[in-house]
Amino acid sequence: MEIKIYTSTGCGYCSKIKELLRRVDLEYTEYRLGQNFTREEFIEMFSDATGYPQMTIDGQNIGGLTDSVKYFVENGMISSKKK
């Protein structure tokens, strides 16, 4: 599974998605605005995105933090129930 996350410096949601990936023990590659891509490239890649982060898995756009959590729950990778 190839996971890529597109982030921005100082983004709280970006920190949360990285923590989520660490907790479920999944490796990922981080691409940061201004270092690995421009704002224009981001808009071209994720025309429907309203902000950061954005995550892709095996080339499929999953979405931002909320959509990523939903994806993990729906695919049995994490539980939505509190223990």
pLDDT number for residue 83:
56
Alpha-carbon 63 to chain mean position: 7
pTM: 0.89
Answer whether CATH 3.40.30.10 is correct for domain 3-74: yes
Which pLDDT belongs to residue 76? 86
Using a 10 angstrom Cβ sphere, with 0-12 exposed, 13-18 middle and 19 or more buried, the burial of residue 53 is buried
- Measure the CA–CA gap between 9 and 58, rounded to whole angstroms: 24
Tens-digit pLDDT string for the chain (83 aa):
999 999 999 999 999 999 999 988 999 999 999 999 999 999 999 999 989 999 999 999 999 999 999 999 999 888 776 65
Rounded Cα distance between 79 and 59, Å, is 24
Using CB atoms within 10 Å of the CB of residue 76, give its burial: 0 to 12 exposed, 13 to 18 middle, 19+ buried: exposed
- Domain ranges for the chain, please list them: 3-74
